[in-house]
Chain A
Amino acid sequence: MRTHDTNHRTASQRLTVGLLLLCGGCYTAELDPELTGLFACDEDDDEASTPCPSGQTCVNHRCENADALPSLTVLAPEDEESLVENVSDVLMGMPQGPAIDVILSFQGSLELSSPGEDHEFGEGHVVVYVDGDERLVIDSGDIGATMAVEVQVPPVAGAHRFVLQAVRNDGLPYDNPEATATRLFWLESPVTRRPFVAVKSPWPGTTFGPEDQTIEVELATLNFDLVDPSNTKVEGQGHAHIHYDEGFPMCLQNPACDGGYIGIIGQSRTTEVTLPPSGAQAAELTAVLRHIDHSAYGLPFDCDPTVPGPLDLCMPVFETIEILRVED
């Protein structure tokens, strides 16, 4: 019996080895490069490495069909469009009154569906942010055609920002650039019609590394013309100084405020500035209007906001946005 068992085992082993050799030890898979949503990728990969097969783009760390990317485009309000509404202005005291309904018109490529469903590439919903706050979720309709929705905007004169974000069913935003649409527009009071400045780029909330680096800053102005510096003060004209992480507006009344000055923007509306090295933190980027002779531009025109005193009597014109310094 022992001999029989041994022989039986030997035969089984031989059969196993044979099967392994014949069919078990072969390469049988066939890699299909046409499959989408399968291959992992990283947007930070070097472009030369071609992380995805041809015809696919990296979206949310997966290679997806480049022809079916979610995309959004804001049609209205137009870029830097000024909407004259009955809004309050700091010159008239604290903001008052109801929110302003602004018609947001957009279109794009996204199969709208309710949040919480299983992720399916190309499906999802649109979240509308106003000045950084989520204000609206659009999960039905056809955005292939133009969609228009009313969005409530705070009744404050000045720059406002729409952000439209295509979001997957599982709540994860699509991270391809086309899935995000932004729009900067103005609200102004028909009473004051005063100058405004806004940092159009970088967009608030943009992240940067901690090391010192050069970035491009673009400004938008309302009722103010950016010109190169000269010797004559002209109402409604001047340039802007860029400050990094200063405490505006009180900083203007401090002679040491210029310590955070990092650049100047004139007629070109853009300039390159160097961000100083920083730890991981939120930082402020401020654009403040200056007269042509570099003196601080104030409202009313002939006041000097650098002279200590109540700011509501001599209001500087500036905008501060928050950017993020994060570790790599």
Chain B
Amino acid sequence: MTNPSYDRRGPAFDPMAMLPRLLRGRTVGVAMAGALVLAPLPVHAGPEATPPPEDATPPEGEPSPDDPVQRAMEAYRSGTDNYNNARYEEALADFREAASLYASPDFQYNIGLCYEKLEKYEEAIGAFTAYLRAKPSAEDRPNVENRIEQLKVQRDRKQREDEEAREAEKARAAEEARAAEEARAAAARAKEPPVVIETGPPPGRALILGGSALAGVGGVLALGGGIALGVLARQRSLDVERAQTEGNPDELSFAELQQLEDEGKRFEGIQVGLVAAGAVVGVTGAVLLALGLRKRSAAMNGDGSAARARLLPSATGVVLTGRF
């Protein structure tokens, strides 16, 4: 439906004159009451533009600065000017102000245009949809609907692009965080001594070490103690024998020889004890050692599941080595 007031506007007061490109040939009609210019209507001046109410018309020849229509008109003009100068945010604010002062679906159309320029497609679609809802019989409805569809396409594309950008940003942030973490780890590794991480003790190690130690102790006990005390016992024996067979050249008394004999027998007893104890300990150690070696051999031949892996730091990171 055409707004009659739109058609009645004069060329001097045709705020829509500056909007042909904006409105794509549409004319904007603003119904003004009296001698005062009509309240500026939205740049959209469709045939169904709603005229300002009668009671909103100020007294003729003296428009009130507080008149909402007047203020809407001023906001409309400012919005149009900003729009033409590609100041879309300011234009959007002006059109929103105008819409708040004067209810016209055309302002929603203009708001939609600003949102479109600002690539706020969802808001643009909302504004155009509000325009069609408020003006169901709009002549340009097919065009507007078509525009809405295009906006949806653009919206979706933009959403995808935004999503991809966000994903890319997240990936970039994650990469940066990982790089930072690696840098910190590298710095920490540079300060700390190399760490060797053994995945597990060598198989049979405890048995080998324990067995070797026991075998050694047993051997020392048996050989060292046995030989030392055996030598002592033998020396006593030789002393007593020499005294009895060579005429006691050392002039040993019976008591002294008895003492030598007692010492010799005591040393011999201790010797036997040490040798026996050393043998027991040594054999135990040998058995443990054999078990340990057998276990290690089995592991080396792959009969067992044991594998030895070593995790070593290197200049390029971490190197995993192992014996299987």
Contact = CB atoms under 8 A, between A and B. Distances in A.
B231 A25 contact: yes
Nearest to B231: A25
A307 interface: no
Interface in B256-289: 256-258, 261, 264-265, 267-268, 271, 275
Contacts of B222: 21
B226 A25 contact: yes
Contacts of B275: 21
A31 B268 contact: no
A28 B261 contact: no
Chain B CB within 10 Å — which of A20, A21, A24, A25 has the most?
A: A25
Contacts of B264: 27, 29
Instruction: For chain A, give the interface size range.
Output: 20 to 34
A264 to B, nearest CB: 45
A39 B226 CA distance: 31
A25 B230 CA distance: 4
Contacts of A21: 222-223, 226-227, 230, 275
A25 B234 contact: yes
B155 interface: no
B244 interface: yes
Interface string B237-261: 1111101100110011111111001
A26 B130 CA distance: 121
A38 B247 contact: yes
A275 interface: no
A25 B231 CA distance: 5
Interface string B163-196: 0000000000000000000000000000000000
Contacts of A38: 243-244, 247-248
A322 B83 CA distance: 164
Contacts of B255: 49-51
A32 interface: yes
A39 B254 contact: yes
Contacts of B251: 40, 61
Given A25-B233, A31-B258, A40-B251, 18 more contacts: A17-B223, A21-B222, A25-B226, A25-B230, A26-B233, A26-B234, A26-B268, A27-B265, A27-B268, A29-B236, A29-B261, A31-B244, A31-B257, A33-B254, A38-B248, A40-B256, A42-B253, A49-B255
27 contacts: A17-B223, A17-B227, A20-B230, A21-B223, A21-B226, A21-B227, A25-B226, A25-B230, A25-B233, A25-B234, A27-B233, A27-B237, A27-B265, A27-B267, A28-B241, A29-B261, A29-B264, A31-B240, A31-B244, A31-B258, A39-B252, A40-B251, A40-B253, A41-B254, A50-B255, A51-B253, A51-B254
Interface of A: 17, 20-21, 24-33, 35, 38-42, 49-53, 61, 63
